[in-house]
Amino acid sequence: MSSQHFDVLIIGAGVSGIGMACHLTRECPGKRFAILERRQSLGGTWDLFRYPGIRSDSDMFTFGYSFRPWTGGKILADGASIKNYVQETAREYDVERHIRFGHAVRTANWSSEDRQWTITAENEQTGETHTFTASFMVGCTGYYNYDKGYKPDFPGESEFKGQIVHPQHWPENLDYAGKKVVVIGSGATAITLVPTLAETAGHVTMLQRSPTYLMPLPSTDKVAMGLQKLLPEKLAYKLTRARNISVARLLYQRSRKSPKAMRRLFLSIIRRQLDGKVDMRHFTPDYNPWDQRLCVVKDGDLFDSLKAGKASIATDRIDRFTPEGIRLASGETLEADIIIPATGLDIQMLGGIQPTVNGQPIVMRDKVIYKNVMVEGVPNAGMIFGYTNISWTLKVDITAEYLCRLFNLMDKRGYHTVVARDTENSLGEDTILGSLSSGYVRRADDRLPRQGTHGPWKSNQNYLEDVKTLRFEPIEDGYLEFDGKRIHQSNAPARGLFRPLRSALFGS
């Protein structure tokens, strides 16, 4: 057993962890840090998922880091390209040497007496245990279980004679050419899988319990490509990024304020895509836009597959699996050689780690989150948790910047500990994922921290507001306790309204 101490210990080497590490090298060059990563490669989601067609569901000009431009005109990038981008970023900022691969974190305990975290990690290949101590811990593990996705227990499943393949565990050499495939689900994974499989499968059926709002998006951005030819790389990136942030925010805000009008708009777009060849009932949700996530259809490929007859869609409930396929509640049977349950994620926090403070377990469901960065009552710990209504990485950047500001202020003032304290009983009912009604959010209600009813405890999924709060507002705001003392520094210089807006759209 070995033991090492770091100023900052980052859990996870995915998009969030690499982003946090790069910000540390840029803004806190004196900090000694390490990244503990369970897998043998960095990339997180983009190293784990290998199913056909895996790609981003957000545009890459906002999914890319603020400090390193995404180049080229590709808007929706494939998984390999995204992993390569993250890896190149890690190399450019000399972050790779700080990663401890093959380290699965098992325990994390804060000691108030020692004023540090003690983290144990296991090498799953050798069984060897390593112990680390750190002044500050940052969770960058995303929000789902890497070991297994969510899959209901379907009646009669054992009777099915074909293959059942979950997208999270895609076999390397799965042969689906010429075969009948049923994809269960209507989320981003299913929307990506169906047209990709339809290129070589005999026929693909997308079986959904209820429709999802879809938005076709071209895979390349000709305007961005034009700007890249005319302007310096960083300026072209900032301009494209600003435009895309503005458009995404507008769509989301209008959906929340005028749901009926936006519903008509979205459905009219789909109606034009289908050209009367597919029944609109399969694309008419019974909820308002952005009550659940909006799914992007690259180049309208799903609609093309349906119109060409290579794929079909069924909206029904499953009665049971049969030896030949799936019998629906309506009595219809869908024949299948391969069934793919793209039925969602199994959500968990901190990669399943159960952190403790002075030996006492932290029950996340009973905790409120501060600025979506720190868990109330948990000292010297941060959590990077991206957006659900816009690109994840936008929140990664500003959260990492905030934590670096916090570290630098603590060093300047000589503080050793910081903890968020909720003295106003702010605990609310909504989780940090907000008001999303998606199944994977409802299933995780018992394990997600809550957001508050007001102030810095309330998560609004608003990028512009978060830029103002995390990048410009004073850190010593009276809600944080430093070395046991609540400090309110209200005499920060006025920033005006323009600077936060400019910063949000064009970067710091």
Give pLDDT tens digits for 236-266: 999 999 999 999 889 989 999 999 999 999 9
- Tens-digit pLDDT profile for residues 132-163: 999 999 999 987 777 877 788 899 999 999 99
The whole-angstrom separation of Cα 378 and Cα 449 is 12
The whole-angstrom separation of Cα 347 and Cα 433 is 11
Answer yes or no: do 490 and 400 share one domain: yes
Q: Is 340 within 8 Å of 182 (Cβ atoms)?
A: yes
The whole-angstrom separation of Cα 89 and Cα 65 is 9
Residue 451 inside a domain? The answer is: yes
Q: Do strands 356-357 and 360-361 pair parallel, antiparallel, or not at all (unpaired)?
A: antiparallel
- Say how many domains are in the chain: 2
229 pLDDT exceeds 70?
Answer: yes
For residues 367 and 144, which has the higher predicted lDDT (pLDDT)? 367
Quote the pLDDT of residue 434.
Answer: 64
Answer yes or no: do 234 and 187 share one domain: yes
Answer yes or no: do 404 and 458 share one domain: yes
* Integer angstrom CA distances of residue 79 from 119, 190, 244, 300, 364: 31, 15, 21, 19, 31
Quote the pLDDT of residue 493.
Answer: 45
Answer yes or no: do 166 and 88 share one domain: no
Residue 135 inside a domain? The answer is: yes
Cβ neighbours, 10 Å, residue 489: 12
Quote the pLDDT of residue 500.
Answer: 60
Radius of gyration, alpha carbons of the chain? 24
Quote the pLDDT of residue 502.
Answer: 59
Quote the pLDDT of residue 460.
Answer: 76
Percent of the chain with pLDDT over 90: 74
Mean of pLDDT values over 398-407:
98
39 pLDDT exceeds 70?
Answer: yes
Answer yes or no: do 379 and 408 share one domain: yes
Quote the pLDDT of residue 492.
Answer: 47
Q: Do strands 311-315 and 99-101 pair parallel, antiparallel, or not at all (unpaired)?
A: unpaired
Quote the pLDDT of residue 276.
Answer: 94
34 pLDDT exceeds 70?
Answer: yes
Cβ neighbours, 10 Å, residue 410: 19
Closest CA to 46 of 393, 342, 341, 353: 393
223 pLDDT exceeds 50?
Answer: yes
Q: Is residue 261 classed as helix, strand or coil in its secondary structure?
A: helix
Q: Is 396 within 8 Å of 386 (Cβ atoms)?
A: yes
pTM, full prediction: 0.92
User: Containing H/E element for 89?
Assistant: helix 79-92
Residue span of the structural domain in which 65 resides: 2-146+346-506
Quote the pLDDT of residue 1.
Answer: 44
The whole-angstrom separation of Cα 398 and Cα 465 is 11
Quote the pLDDT of residue 352.
Answer: 82
What's CA 43's distance to the chain center, in Å?
Answer: 13
How confident is residue 504, by pLDDT bands cut at 50, 70 and 90?
low
Quote the pLDDT of residue 507.
Answer: 65
The whole-angstrom separation of Cα 217 and Cα 220 is 9
Average pLDDT, the chain: 90
* Integer angstrom CA distances of residue 86 from 16, 45, 76, 347: 10, 11, 15, 23
CATH of the domain at 167: 3.50.50.60
Give the least confident one: 114-118, 221-225, 263-267.
Answer: 221-225
User: Containing H/E element for 249?
Assistant: helix 233-257
Apex CA 265: angle with CA 263 and CA 267, to 5°? 70
Q: Is 401 within 8 Å of 470 (Cβ atoms)?
A: yes
- Tens-digit pLDDT profile for residues 161-218: 999 999 989 998 999 999 999 999 999 999 999 999 999 999 999 999 999 999 999 9
- Tens-digit pLDDT profile for residues 294-317: 899 999 999 999 999 999 999 999
Answer yes or no: do 242 and 357 share one domain: no
Answer yes or no: do 142 and 176 share one domain: no
Q: Is 36 within 8 Å of 105 (Cβ atoms)?
A: yes
- Tens-digit pLDDT profile for residues 418-438: 999 998 888 887 777 765 555
How confident is residue 441, by pLDDT bands cut at 50, 70 and 90?
low
For residues 457 and 345, which has the higher predicted lDDT (pLDDT)? 457
Answer yes or no: do 360 and 329 share one domain: no
Please compute, for residue 412, the number of CA atoms within 13 A of its CA located in the half-sphere on the CB side.
Answer: 9
H-type alpha helices, 93-232: 188-198, 222-230
Last residue of a domain, one of 279, 308, 341: 341
Mean of pLDDT values over 277-290:
94
Mean of pLDDT values over 7-13:
97
Residue 208 inside a domain? The answer is: yes
- Ranked by mean pLDDT, the top range of 335-339, 440-444, 460-464 is 335-339
Quote the pLDDT of residue 149.
Answer: 79
Q: Is 276 within 8 Å of 426 (Cβ atoms)?
A: no
229 Cβ contact partners less than 8 Å away, ≥ 6 residues apart: none
Residue 152 inside a domain? The answer is: no
Answer yes or no: do 352 and 500 share one domain: yes
Residue 151 inside a domain? The answer is: no
The whole-angstrom separation of Cα 451 and Cα 383 is 14
Answer yes or no: do 251 and 351 share one domain: no
397 pLDDT exceeds 90?
Answer: yes
* Integer angstrom CA distances of residue 88 from 65, 103, 386: 12, 22, 21
